[in-house]
Each structure stands twice: as C-alpha cells, then as structure tokens.
Structure 1
Amino acid sequence: MGCPHLVLPTAVSTLGGLVFGYELGIISGALLQLQAHFHLTCVQQEAVVSALLIGAVLASMVGGWLIDRRGRRTSILLSNLLILGGSLILSFSNSFLMLVVGRLSVGFAMCISSMSCCIFVSEMVPSHRRGLTVTLYEAGVTVGILLAYAVNYMLSGALEGWRYMFGFAIVLCLAQLVSVWVLPSENGVLVQHIPDNQSHSDRAEEGPSSQVLKDHTRFTVLHLFQRKDNMRTRTVIGLGLMLFQQFTGQPNVLFYASTIFQSVGFRNYASAVLASVGLGVIKVVATSGAMLCADKAGRRPLLISGCSVMAVGLILIGFLSRNSLFDATRHCSSEPHPNSTTLVHGNPMELMKMSNCTTDAGRSDTPTALGWSNGLILICMMSVVGAFSVGFGPMTWLILSEIFPEELRGRAFAFTNCFNWMANLIVSFSFLSVIDVIGLSGTFFIYGVIAAAAAVFIHFLLPETKGKSLQDIDQELRERRFPQKEDFCSIFQRRLSPDYQRLSWSNSSI
C-alpha cells in the first residue's frame, strides 16, 4: 500500500464501497418514515426496498460487456453519475413512483460500481497485497452502512428527515467522482497489471508499468459453462457463494433492521434505529479484522467459521423470537388487530403501541421477559452480522476476483452478480410477506439451516487462494474437478479411522 501508484486506485475502490454501503443501509431507518409520509402498504414498502435490487439485476446483465469493452475507469465514472441522479430524485420525491425510479437508478449504478471497483483493484495489485486491498472495498461498505445507520438515528426525529438521508449520498458520490477523474485514462479495454512478486520467473522480469492488452470480443457468457479450463466448476463456485450469502437472510438484516428490532420489543423508533447503529459498529470491527486476516488466515477458514457462527446465531434468533409480535399478528393482513380498531396497514410502529399484547398461546409478554429476550436477540444479531462481515461479506468478492481468467473476469463477475442481486431481490421483496405466513422465528430458522449448508459447500468445493498469483490460481483451477461420491466416502472413512482420530487429538493437544 506504500506504492504511490496503488494508493489512488485503492482509494477510489474504498470510496465506491462507502457509497455502496450507505445506499444499502439508509433505507433501514428511512423506511418507517416513508411509510408514514406516503401511507405505504407492505407491498409498497417491499417495492421501495427492492427497486434498488431490480436496478442492480438489470445492470448485471450489461455490466460485463460494459466493464470488458469500455474499461473499469469508465464504468466507475458512469456509476457515479447515475448515483448522483438517483439521489436527487429520491431527495425531491413527492410520490411512490418517484421513490421507485430513484431507487432503480441507484441500484443500477451500485451494481456497476461494485463489479468495476473489485476487478480494478484485484488487477492492479500483487498477490501478497490483493487480499488487503480488495477487502478494503468491503471495509468501505461496512463504514458506509454504519454511517447510514448513524444518519438514520440523527434524523429520526426530523421533519421529512428521509429527504436528507437520501441527499447525503450526493456528498459521498462527489468525493469518489473527483478521485476517479484523477485516475489515468484507459484506451479501449486496456488493463494495467502489476506483476506478482510471487509469480513465475518469466513474469518476474516485467516492470510495474507493463501493460497487457487482451481481446475480450471473442468471449461470451457461454464460455463460463464450457468444460475447457474447468470453467464450469469455477462458475458453480461463484454462483454458490453468491446465492448462499443472500439466502442466509443478510439483506433483510440490513434493510429491515429497525423493523425487526421493533417487532421483537424495542419500544420506539429511536431505540430500534440505535440498535441498528450497534450492528453497523460490529460490521466495521469484524470487517477490519477480516481485512487484516485475509492474507494470513486464508479465505476458506474465514468463510467456514463465519458460516458456522451465522448458523448458530440465526437459529437462536428463530428460537428467541417465537413469541414476537410478528409471530403473534398478521401485520400485513387487511384484517384489523383485535386490540386496535385504528391499526395502520403494515406499520410495525402501531403494533408496538399496543400494551399487554397477547400471543397465540394467550400469554402476555411482560416488560421483564421482553427485556432479557431483546438483549439476547441483539447479541445474536450482532454475532450474525459480525460473522457475515468476516466471511461472506469480504471473501465472496475477493474470491470472485481471483478464480476467473482475466479475459472473462468482467463477464463472470456480471453473470454471478446477476444471480446475487436476483437472490437479494427475492429475499428482500418477500420478507414481510414470508414472516406473515411462517413467522419471524420460522424465517430465521430456515436462514440458519441454509448457513450450515453453505459451510459444507465451501468445505468441499472451494480451494484456498491465499498468497497465490492470479495466474497460479487459474492454473490450479484448470486442473480441479468436482468431488465425486468416492471422494466424500473416503473423507468420512478417513475421519472415522482410529489413526485419524489419534492424530487429531494429538494436534489439538499441542
């Protein structure tokens, strides 16, 4: 990071992550204000949240072409201009439709920005710095989320505070826009490569300013499914990481954090938003730790341990929230609650105003019971957020920037990112409706089971890429194959053998 020619690209990428995180997190606190101001139904609230994701899905369909054909710098610049436009629309919105249009524009830009920044930095740094610099993007995301939650809290009592929440993104975007203008121009699809210090001898003689020009026009998305160079396995790994990270429910923890905290007993809007700020702090701390450990501990250990902690935390949240108001009341139903004839449609705040709410079992939740369960749920939520920020958060993007060959990297990123945003859209758009059917507890229990399955997937399919050059990773993956049935059997037989157990016991005792 001490090299001058690495500082500016890394700063541009980190600022991109900051904008990305702010746009992701700001809707958490703004949503309840928007609901009250525009009288939004549950479906309309989900639409406002998910419009950003729909824009991202659309961008992922053209993003690969744009990045590979027009260059990384041009793509980042375009995303900045779109975020500026979308933020202005959101700040001056006077209808539900304008909210959706503004969120669509921001989502489209965020997708282009996330892909461009990660690829740009991964190609500009040597292998021994790649883990740190690429995860700096995720560090920017977590700081952006924390900043968004803090802005939510500060403006929670302001009249039409949501306008200022959305408008503050303009300041962050302008900072990145200025830094992008300073970057050197790209000619066509020219991509700068700084050779890895640990790469082969025939590349060691190249200087830091050497450049490689690749012909990307002959490659299409179909090449991601060919047997040649084992591209099919790489694509499955990328898709698996993207889908698992979304279906563990992380988007809902970000987008609906304040709503979730209110539903389990946090008595007012400000306290629920303040609890969300706590989640933001945990994300920053955990991501900082992952950033420092990515090139030391390795990608696989961080992912597997993160998924394991997430599984335990999510299942515990499901158990502890089984008597929450979301489980006791169909808040999206048009039928009024029996204890209130003036219930605002789909508004969790009104649910929290009802005292001595009775659950399906007929038990009244006392303040004492709510107090200790709230604390445990908050701890579990922080554990889940922290585990995600150590594992899936930074490692997914780092691995995706490493496992695909350079000439297909833009299209591969766009293709897998398309599924990422589609999964995010499904999870986010259906959240309020799903908990209306199976309850908050059932929803989080399912998330926990998926997190456990993700740990198994990573253990058997993902190779370790720590400390390896992009060329060496590519060569290793060319020769890699899916584990066959006999491979799984041999692994379990080996671990059940007395010799393996004695060796494991002796190693744990050292």
Structure 2
Amino acid sequence: MSNLSSGSPDVGLMLGYELGLTSGVLLQLRGILSLSCREQELLVGSLLLGCLVISIVGGWGLDRYGRRWSMLLSGGLVAGGTMLLLLPASLTTLSLGRAVVGMGTALSGTAACMYIAEIAPRERRGLLVTLYELMVVVGVLLGFGCSYAFSALPNGWRYTFGLVLPPAVLQAAALVLLPPSPRFLELRGIQAGLKEEAEHGFRELFSDKANLRRRLLTGVALVFLQQTTGQPNLLSYASPLLRSVGFHSDAAANLASTGFGVVKVVGTVPAVLLVDRVGPKSFLCVGAVAMGMSLVTLGAVTLQSHTHLTSLCQSPVGLNHTYQGQDLNTPSSGLDYSSFKLITPPPGESQWNGSDSAEALGTKREDAGMGSGVRGQGHVKWISLVSLLVYVAAFSFSLGPKPVVEPAIEPV
C-alpha cells in the first residue's frame, strides 16, 4: 500500500506541474522567440492537443495492456517529450514536445484513477483518490513556484521544463514494484464481482435503470462546467494576465501567479476533509456563488482601467516583431531612424497638434502592451489579483475536485 501511495499520486504531481509551469515559461519564450499571439496559443494548446489524442485512443491501450503498463508508458512519454523541450528552442520542437508531454500526462491521469479504484481496499479508496487530486494542485503550486524561481535566469525555462524528469523516474520505479490490478483483484478473491461487472454493457448507462441516465448527464455536466469556467486557461495565461493589469516585470507576474497555486492547495484541503460531512452539493453551490461574485468584481475593475485584451499576448520587449539584421544587444541610442515617419497633418490643419500626438503616442503604448493604462493605478492590480485568487479558491473546493464529487452521484 505504501508503494501505491507513492506511485499513483506522483502521477497527479506531474500533471499539475505541467499545468502550472505554462504561464511563467510563456513569458520567457514569447520574448526569446518573438512569438505572435497565434503562435503562443499554438504552444499552449499543444499540451491540450496531446491530451485530446490520448482521450480518444487511450482507452484501447488501457484495456489491452492494463493500467500499470499504461502508467509506465506515460512516464516514458513525459520523459521523451521533456527531452524534446530541452533541444535548441524553436516553435516546432517546443510544440511537439508539449504535445508528447500532454499525451503522457493524460494517459497517466486516466490510468492512475482507474488503477487506484481497482486495486485499493474499499476503506482506503476514497483517501487515495482524493490524495491524487491533492497532488495535482500541489504540482500546480510547484509549477508556478519553479517558473518564478528560474524566471531571472537566461535559460530558466529549460530548468523549469527539466524538473519534471525526477518525478517521471520515481513513478516508473514505484510502478515496477506494484502488481497488475486484475491479478491483485483475483488474489483478493472477488472474481464474482468481476463476473457481475462483465454482465453490464455500455448501453445500460443510458437506461432508466437505477436512474443511470440522470446520473450520467449530471456527471457529464459537472465535467463540462469544470472546463467552461475558464480555469485551465487561467492557469495557462496567469502570468501574462497579471502583467497586463499592473505587474510590470516577469518576476513580479510569476510571483503573483504563485499565489494561484497556494490558494488551490488551501482550497482543495477543505473539500478533501469535509466533503463527506458537508456534502458535495453544498460545496458546489457556495463555490458557484463565490466564482460569480469574483468575476463580476474583476470585470468591473478592469472595465474602469485601460487594459487592452490585445496586450495579454504581446511581449513588452519585442512587441511580437522579429528584428532581422539588428543586434539585440545594441544600446537604445543606436536606433534605426529609418523606421520613423513624419505624420502629415490632414488637409485644413497647418500646425502640429501636440496634444493629439501625445494622445496617439499613449494609445500606441497601450496597444503595445506596455500597460500605461494601469500604470499609477496600484489598486487595480491588487483588486484584480484578489478577485482572481478568490475565483481560484472557490473553484478548488467546488468544481475542481471532481473525483470527490462524482462518486457521490454514481452507483457503487
């Protein structure tokens, strides 16, 4: 049982770490590679694309080769994808590496939950499943923290990516010592239970027997609402989002985003400890109200500021333009004045309007993502940060721990 406790939850740690590091690494890579908005979206979405592929074809491998071997394969995929990420930086290798890592984390997450449910004793099953969920949010915290710790280094993003290799090796070492779940079930003498399960088919889920159809729709709705809250996008773009509302350096934005990981851990602990006493429905209702109030507050604050949505994906240094034939280390005094053009006044205007030019310059700076609209408004960034933290905390004890909520509505 000790091996099970160290092996399967370690899978959750890797999944959470990969989700948490995305936003901090994105701040570094978009400046190094001069990534456009669309290229940044491709880099972020490649991880989810790998998860999608495995969700479609992974079930066949789980049934054919078992949960334990699937988790071993997932460790190899995570390690292989990470090695691709450590190669010389390019959008192609980074996207491919993230896709492979996404395949590994998705396969391991699905296999781990199934493996725990099949091999754990009934009295320990709930504890181990919730331990997996807790390890996911701990991994998110570590991802944010490592992104901040290495943000000041020239190649800090490489260290952030590479730190997932030790958990992958630990997972493989622990799983080698664990028995395959079907063999363990047979040794426990519950073949009758396996035969009874074999008599039930997939179509039975859509029947009125034991109210299965309503239970299925409720479970699907919970998963759908979990994703449509935007929480995965918030994790992926936390640092760029915080930078746009007033945290004007990568280190400050990464440090502020680390608070997301802290509140996710703090918010998940009550759900793990009190869900059986309070009930999942109460957590869902309270969490939904808190998320709604925090989003209304965030929207009202940012509406009053001059934050532009286009600034979320624009690098404040490179401004998403690739400079060719120019040394990026050249001091600012060596500007290429050929890129500057005089603005001809419109017909009917014979004098230069200084106020109009200043206004136009200010608009350009805002559009370039410099955050001039929020500069000097310190309360905006702190209210935005607190609203986001409340939103993340409310999600963490309501829709976040779905492995805790779903067993309460599904038949045993």
Task: Answer yes or no: same fold by TM over 0.5.
Answer: yes
DSSP-derived class of the 2:253 partner:
helix
Equivalent in the alignment of 1:162: 157
Taking structure 2 as the reference length, the TM-score comes to: 0.80
1: CA distance between counterparts of 2:274 and 2:303? Answer: 36
Structure 1's 343 and 90: CA in aligned 2 closer, same or farther, altered over 3 A?
closer
Q: Say which of 82, 87, 100 aligns to 2:82.
A: 87
Q: Say which of 363, 377, 390 aligns to 2:384.
A: 377
2: CA distance between counterparts of 1:381 and 1:141? Answer: 19
Encode CA deviations 1:10-40: one digit per residue, 9 max, x unaligned: 3222111100001111111101111112221
What is the identity, as a one-letter code, of the residue corresponding to 2:138?
V
Q: Say which of 249, 267, 275 aligns to 1:294.
A: 275
What is the identity, as a one-letter code, of the residue corresponding to 1:107?
G
What is the identity, as a one-letter code, of the residue corresponding to 1:159?
P
Equivalent in the alignment of 1:474: 411
Q: Tell whether the 8 Å contact from 1:132 to 1:294 is kept in structure 2 after alignment.
A: no
Which stretch of structure 1 is more off in the superposition, 219-228 or 376-385? 219-228
Q: Tell whether the 8 Å contact from 1:87 to 1:170 is kept in structure 2 after alignment.
A: yes
Equivalent in the alignment of 1:397: 403
Q: Tell whether the 8 Å contact from 1:24 to 1:145 is kept in structure 2 after alignment.
A: yes
1: CA distance between counterparts of 2:28 and 2:101? Answer: 20
Q: How does 1:208-219 map to 2 (within 5 A)?
A: 209-212=188-191, 214=194
Superposed displacement of residue 257, structure 1: 0.5
1: CA distance between counterparts of 2:381 and 2:147? Answer: 21
Structure 1's 122 and 300: CA in aligned 2 closer, same or farther, altered over 3 A?
farther
Q: Tell whether the 8 Å contact from 1:22 to 1:169 is kept in structure 2 after alignment.
A: yes
Equivalent in the alignment of 1:493: none
Q: Tell whether the 8 Å contact from 1:92 to 1:163 is kept in structure 2 after alignment.
A: no
Between the two proteins, the alignment pairs up a number of residues equal to 367
Q: Say if 2:394 is the partner of 1:387.
A: yes
Q: Tell whether the 8 Å contact from 2:241 to 2:312 is kept in structure 1 after alignment.
A: no
Q: Tell whether the 8 Å contact from 1:152 to 1:165 is kept in structure 2 after alignment.
A: yes
Q: How does 1:110-509 map to 2 (within 5 A)?
A: 110-126=105-121, 129-186=124-181, 189-190=182-183, 192=185, 209-212=188-191, 214=194, 224-228=205-209, 230-324=211-305, 326-327=307-308, 343-345=319-321, 365=373, 367-368=375-376, 370-394=377-401, 396-400=402-406, 402=407, 464=408, 474=411
Structure 1's 366 and 325: CA in aligned 2 closer, same or farther, altered over 3 A?
closer
Which stretch of structure 1 is more off in the superposition, 154-163 or 7-16? 7-16
Q: Say if 2:102 is the partner of 1:97.
A: no
Superposed displacement of residue 131, structure 1: 3.4
Equivalent in the alignment of 1:76: 71
What is the identity, as a one-letter code, of the residue corresponding to 1:233?
R
Equivalent in the alignment of 1:20: 15
Q: Tell whether the 8 Å contact from 1:331 to 1:345 is kept in structure 2 after alignment.
A: no
Encode CA deviations 1:220-263: one digit per residue, 9 max, x unaligned: 76554445554432331222111101111101211000011001
2: CA distance between counterparts of 1:331 and 1:116? Answer: 35
2: CA distance between counterparts of 1:250 and 1:93? Answer: 31
Structure 1's 22 and 389: CA in aligned 2 closer, same or farther, altered over 3 A?
same
Which stretch of structure 1 is more off in the superposition, 220-229 or 288-297? 220-229
Q: Tell whether the 8 Å contact from 2:24 to 2:147 is kept in structure 1 after alignment.
A: yes
Q: Tell whether the 8 Å contact from 1:22 to 1:145 is kept in structure 2 after alignment.
A: yes
Superposed displacement of residue 323, structure 1: 4.1
Q: Determine what percentage of the aligned residue pairs are the same residue.
A: 36
DSSP-derived class of the 2:303 partner:
coil
Structure 1's 474 and 377: CA in aligned 2 closer, same or farther, altered over 3 A?
same
Equivalent in the alignment of 1:106: 101
What is the identity, as a one-letter code, of the residue corresponding to 1:236?
L
Structure 1's 332 and 149: CA in aligned 2 closer, same or farther, altered over 3 A?
closer
What is the identity, as a one-letter code, of the residue corresponding to 1:253?
L
Superposed displacement of residue 133, structure 1: 2.1
Structure 1's 42 and 329: CA in aligned 2 closer, same or farther, altered over 3 A?
closer
What is the identity, as a one-letter code, of the residue corresponding to 1:393?
G
Flag structure 2 segments of 5+ consecutive residues without an equivalent: 323-360
Superposed displacement of residue 390, structure 1: 1.0
What is the identity, as a one-letter code, of the residue corresponding to 1:263?
S
Equivalent in the alignment of 1:198: none
Q: Tell whether the 8 Å contact from 1:52 to 1:104 is kept in structure 2 after alignment.
A: yes
DSSP-derived class of the 1:393 partner:
coil
DSSP-derived class of the 2:223 partner:
helix
Equivalent in the alignment of 1:426: none
Structure 1's 23 and 37: CA in aligned 2 closer, same or farther, altered over 3 A?
same
DSSP-derived class of the 2:194 partner:
coil
Which stretch of structure 1 is more off in the superposition, 261-270 or 279-288? 279-288
What is the identity, as a one-letter code, of the residue corresponding to 2:319?
L
State which structure, 1 or 2, has the greater radius of gyration over its C-alpha atoms. 2
Q: Say if 2:5 is the partner of 1:29.
A: no
Superposed displacement of residue 125, structure 1: 3.9
1: CA distance between counterparts of 2:149 and 2:43? Answer: 22
Structure 1's 367 and 96: CA in aligned 2 closer, same or farther, altered over 3 A?
closer
Structure 1's 330 and 283: CA in aligned 2 closer, same or farther, altered over 3 A?
closer
Q: Say which of 56, 66, 73 aligns to 2:61.
A: 66
Superposed displacement of residue 325, structure 1: 5.0
Q: Tell whether the 8 Å contact from 2:301 to 2:384 is kept in structure 1 after alignment.
A: yes
Structure 1's 61 and 108: CA in aligned 2 closer, same or farther, altered over 3 A?
same
1: CA distance between counterparts of 2:209 and 2:114? Answer: 23
Structure 1's 192 and 296: CA in aligned 2 closer, same or farther, altered over 3 A?
farther
Taking structure 1 as the reference length, the TM-score comes to: 0.65
